[in-house]
Chain A
């Protein structure tokens, strides 16, 4: 059962454009929503994260928009650059015993063309 649905699977954006990746979740117990960025040959790295008590979080060119009632959240990359070409994973986590159980989306491969 896919608890975090991510779309699109792949995305091509021109340099300077806006990249938008969407995720939807089902489990209302999720209380933390991180995004991870993965470059080829590397492991994923935390990019930005949000808690459900805010509707938006911005860090530089990266913004998370969060809609709690719709159980959806999205990543916006403004002024997309070729260096942003990577695979992006949304995730959602919930407390489970002594740690946070993290569920990942299926990933979006972003290509930014010059």
Chain B
């Protein structure tokens, strides 16, 4: 069964801390994504990567960076956490076959910044 694994289910950090959220997929997918999910706002794309060492900004990249050193691993970095970054963070990978795309999501990391 396909799997996207996020390293932490819950995380509590202090304002100003550097935060790393890790994500690993075992499906050999080229594309990987980081979304944040907030009530009433749906899922918003932070960053994505279509290949190792490649990254592209999504809709809300401010305050975040990413790293993809290996195909299976995609990390989201909060350089200096702020309270407005308290959110549910979802990692996903995807394939595109025969005109159909399917996103596979991890279970999410609920981050609280105090």
A residues sitting closer than 8 Å to B (CB atoms) are: 6, 9, 32, 34, 36, 41-46, 49, 51, 89, 93, 97-102, 104-107
Contacts and interface: CB of A to CB of B under 8 A. Distances in A.
A101 B108 CA distance: 20
Q: Give chain B's interface secondary structure class.
A: strand
5 contacts: A34-B103, A43-B4, A43-B108, A44-B105, A104-B42
Interface residues of B, number: 25
A102 B101 contact: yes
Interface of B: 4, 31, 40-45, 48, 50, 56, 90, 92, 94, 96, 99-108
B58 to A, nearest CB: 9
A6 B4 contact: no
Contact of B48 (A6, A36, A46, A99): A99
Contacts, number: 58
Given A42-B108, A93-B101, 16 more contacts: A32-B100, A34-B101, A41-B108, A44-B43, A44-B105, A45-B104, A46-B103, A49-B100, A97-B50, A98-B50, A100-B101, A102-B103, A104-B43, A106-B40, A106-B42, A107-B40
A46 B96 CA distance: 13
A101 B43 CA distance: 13
Nearest to B96: A100
Contact of A42 (B42, B102, B107): B107
A107 to B, nearest CB: 5
